[in-house]
Amino acid sequence: MNDSLGLLEFFAMSDLVTPMALRTAATLRIADHLADGPRDLKDLAVAAGCDADALGRVLRYLAARGVFVALDDDRFELGGTARWLLDDDPSAARRWLDQDGYGATMDRAHLDLLGIVQRGGPLQAANKTSLDATAAASYDSLMAANTRNEAPLLVRAIDWTRFEHVVDVGGGTGVQLAAILTAFPHLRGTLVELPASLEAAERLLADAGLNERCGVVAGNLFELELPEADAFLLRMLVHSFEDEQAVEALTRCRRALRPGGAIFVAEAADTHQKGFTTQDLIVLVLGHGRERTLAQYDELASAAGLRRVAIHTPPAGPRALEYTA
C-alpha cells in the first residue's frame, strides 16, 4: 500500500496537465472574471475570449481539484485556492503563471532541460540581460512583487544606521532600496540597474518621496564606474553570474567601497535545500548562473579582495552575507 501511494505521488510530480491547466486559467484571468460571483460558462468564455466547450473542460478539471467550484456543468464560482489566481493577490501567482508574461519565458526554458543537461547550458539565455522591453517589464513586475513581501525583513535584519550611502546594484525597480531609505531617513541611496528598468524605478522612487535622497544610474554593471559608498547591496544578483563575472562584480564594488564599509550579498541559503536546489535549477535553465554554498561565496569574495564578517538571516527571503575589504 505504501509502495502504491509512493508511485501515485511520483506520477503526480511528473504531471504536466495540472500546471498547464492552472496557467491557462491564470492567463485567461478566470478568477478575476469570477470575483463578483458565479457565472455561466458561455458568459465566462465570452469574457475570457475563448471557446466555451474547451474552457469548460479545463474548469471542470480544476474544479475536481478544488481550484474552482462547478455549481453544475455550465456554471462556476471561485474555489478555496482560486484566490491565488486573482490579479491583486499579494503572491502575484497569477502573473507568474500568465503565459503572456515573463513566467512563460521561464516555462519554455525548462522544457529544454534535457538538452541543457546534455549540453551543459541553454542555447540562448533567458535572463534579464537578454529580454526585450516587454519581457523585461514583466520580469521587473514579478521581481518587485517578490521583493515587496521580503524587503521589510531584510531591512530589519541589518543595522543600516552604520551607513550613510547605500548602493543597490541590480536592484530592479528599487523596491528593496526604497524600503531601506524609508526606514532610515538619514541614508542616501543609489540604484544601479539596466536602462530597461529606469522609468519604472524613477516612478517608484518618486511615489515614495525619495527623489532627493536617491539617484539612479542606468547601465551594465560591468561597463560602469560605481559611485563611492559605504554600503553595497547585491540582492539575488550574484547567482546570475558564472564565477569570473561574479568576482568582477564584487571587485567593482570593493573598489568603490569607502574604508570601513560593507558589501552585502543576499542569496538563497544552502541550508534550505529545497529552495536552494530550486533556485540553482532555475538559474541553470535561464543561463549563466548558479547558486552557491557559503564556502563558495567566500571563495569568490576572497578572490575579489573581501572577507566575510557576518551573516544576516531574516525569517524569510535570502540571507545576507556581509563582506568587507
Is position 211 within any domain? yes
Is position 319 within any domain? yes
> Which is nearest to 176 in space by CA: 205, 197, 200?
205
| 184 and 52 part of one domain | no
Q: Please, which residues bridge with residue 129 across strands?
A: none
| 60 and 126 part of one domain | no
| 178 and 265 part of one domain | yes
Q: Is 272 a catalytic residue?
A: no
What pLDDT, on a 0 to 100 scale, did the predictor assign at position 54?
Answer: 98
What pLDDT, on a 0 to 100 scale, did the predictor assign at position 125?
Answer: 87
Task: Read off the pTM.
Answer: 0.90
What pLDDT, on a 0 to 100 scale, did the predictor assign at position 5?
Answer: 66
Is position 42 within any domain? yes
Number of domains in the chain: 2
The segments of the chain whose pLDDT lies below 70 read: 1-5
Is position 111 within any domain? no
Is position 221 within any domain? yes
| 223 and 287 part of one domain | yes
Question: The domain spanning residue 11 has which CATH number?
Answer: 1.10.10.10
| 290 and 149 part of one domain | yes
What pLDDT, on a 0 to 100 scale, did the predictor assign at position 1?
Answer: 45
- Which structural domain range is residue 192 located in? 118-324
| 70 and 132 part of one domain | no
Length of the chain: 325
Annotated catalytic residue within 110, 165, 186, 239: 239
**Cα separation, 266 vs 93, whole angstroms:** 23
What cell was used for 18?
495540472
Is position 102 within any domain? no
